[in-house]
Structure 1
Amino acid sequence: MNPLTVLRAGDYPCMPWKNGGGSTQEITRDGGAGLDGFGWRLSIADIAASGGFSRFAGYQRVITVLQGQGMQLMVDGAPSRVLRPFDAFAFNGDSDVACQLLGGPIRDFNLIYAPSRYRARLQWFEHATPQRLFSAAAHVLVFSAADALKVSQGEQAPQLLGLYDCAQMRPSGGLVELTLEGHCCVVELSPR
């Protein structure tokens, strides 16, 4: 079993949006080849004003508001439900997407992945007491939405994650056992 790696929010590189309308902090990616240089990517973006989203042809997107009052998306001309904090929403990266902010700027969390290459699962958890989770995914990521999140893998000592830190595991076969205590998102990715 490979060890848990902690990625700190203060170390995330900042990258411009494809459409030039802002910037994104990239948390991590698979680094594989693809239309945009990755098979999957996790990131955080700040949206200061309503407007259009970049297209990612061949990718699926899952977005979650982290801070702010929320937003509503127009996806290929159809309105989404109102997206409030920690309500994940999935849409096709090929779609024509624009957002209408509800009461000011927001910060969001994004998973973008190539469904032709990866299966993905994204779930939000909020527990004050330790909870166990088991996964057989090739990549397991735990993104902290808390000032203090405890994460441990198997019998290893717990790691403390701060706000927007991320723990990354690459199990080398079989199940990975995680113990989580706090508010977080668990992302599981496996190659097809």
Structure 2
Amino acid sequence: MNARSRVIPAVDYRRTRWANGAGWTREIHAEPAADGEGWDWRLSIAEVAAEAPFSTFPGVDRELVLLTGAGLRLDFADGQSVQLVPPHGRHRFSGERPLLGTPLEGPTQDFNLMWRRDRVAAELWRRPLVGTMVLFADPGHTWVVHLLAGQARFSDDSGLPPLAMGDTALLAAGDGRLRHALDGAGEALLIRIAPVDPAPGAGAGLRLVDTA
């Protein structure tokens, strides 16, 4: 097992205030920046109990995914309005854009992916988990698996514990290519994080293979 690959149980997420103090979030992971200044990318679950302005993050791109609740309306200062509706509505936007978040018919919890666009690139998918899924990554790349529903386990040689609903796995490549086989049933968010402007061919190993 790569020493940087690990499973983060949902009970270990750290609850903290939003940057603007207007709400609460449960931080899953913040990847330290190589230069020691803050983070390069961050995962959290925002708790939106009432209408509130969202924090702004210059230089950061974001993607929100509705996890629980009847829906969330995002009203941007430039006039755009977007609704995240069940089962897992999502929206990607620039962190500089001021907006107001309003839960529809009760509180929501929302998966929050943020990344510094000048340092890394991020892609997110919602995928069913049926049978075996194989993830590959080259050095410098990371896969994230957040289990939305069901249960899953990695191959025995990974050294990683099973995933329960709400848990998150970080699968970071070391000096060589990383391969992890994930087996189970349910649904997951899959995220891949890659350096900006990787060397030619470096992204070729960052791929997902469904074998079911």
Are the structure 2 counterparts of residues 35 and 95 from structure 1 closer, same or farther at C-alpha, using a change threshold of 3 Å? Answer: farther
Deviation at 1:166, TM superposition (A): 0.9
Q: Is the 8 A contact 1:135 1:177 kept in 2?
A: no
Q: Is the 8 A contact 2:84 2:91 kept in 1?
A: no
Find out whether 1:57 has 2:58 as its counterpart.
Answer: yes
Which residue identity does 2:125 align to in structure 1?
Q
Tell me the TM-score normalised to structure 2 length. Answer: 0.80
Q: Is the 8 A contact 2:74 2:82 kept in 1?
A: yes
The match for 1:93 among 89, 92, 95 is 95
Q: Is the 8 A contact 1:42 1:109 kept in 2?
A: yes
Are the structure 2 counterparts of residues 128 and 174 from structure 1 closer, same or farther at C-alpha, using a change threshold of 3 Å? Answer: closer
Q: Distance in 2 between matches of 1:53 and 1:117?
A: 23
Equivalences for 1:38-187 in 2 at 5 Å? Answer: 38-75=39-76, 76-136=78-138, 138-146=141-149, 148-152=150-154, 155-156=157-158, 159-172=161-174, 173-181=176-184, 182-187=186-191
Are the structure 2 counterparts of residues 116 and 153 from structure 1 closer, same or farther at C-alpha, using a change threshold of 3 Å? Answer: farther
Unaligned runs of 5+ in 1: none
Partner of 2:192: 188
Deviation at 1:176, TM superposition (A): 2.7
Please list the CA deviations of residues 53-80 of structure 1 after superposition, one character each: whole Å capped at 9, or x if unmatched. 1101110000001000111211232112
Q: Distance in 1 between matches of 2:130 and 2:108?
A: 26
Which residue identity does 2:12 align to in structure 1?
D
Q: Distance in 1 between matches of 2:161 and 2:6?
A: 9
Please list the CA deviations of residues 108-138 of structure 1 after superposition, one character each: whole Å capped at 9, or x if unmatched. 1110100110011111112333333434461
- Where does structure 1 differ by over 6 angstroms across 4 or more consecutive aligned residues? 33-36
Q: Is the 8 A contact 1:149 1:184 kept in 2?
A: no
Which residue identity does 1:139 align to in structure 2?
T
Unaligned runs of 5+ in 2: 197-212
Partner of 1:8: 9
Please list the CA deviations of residues 71-118 of structure 1 after superposition, one character each: whole Å capped at 9, or x if unmatched. 121123211244333222101000011122211100111101001100
Deviation at 1:36, TM superposition (A): 7.5
- In our comparison, the structure showing a higher alpha carbon Rg is 2
Please list the CA deviations of residues 134-176 of structure 1 after superposition, one character each: whole Å capped at 9, or x if unmatched. 3446111111112x42142595367321222111111123353
Q: What is the CA RMSD across the aligned residues, in angstroms?
A: 2.4
Tell me the TM-score normalised to structure 1 length. Answer: 0.87
SS at match of 2:111: strand
Are the structure 2 counterparts of residues 154 and 87 from structure 1 closer, same or farther at C-alpha, using a change threshold of 3 Å? Answer: farther
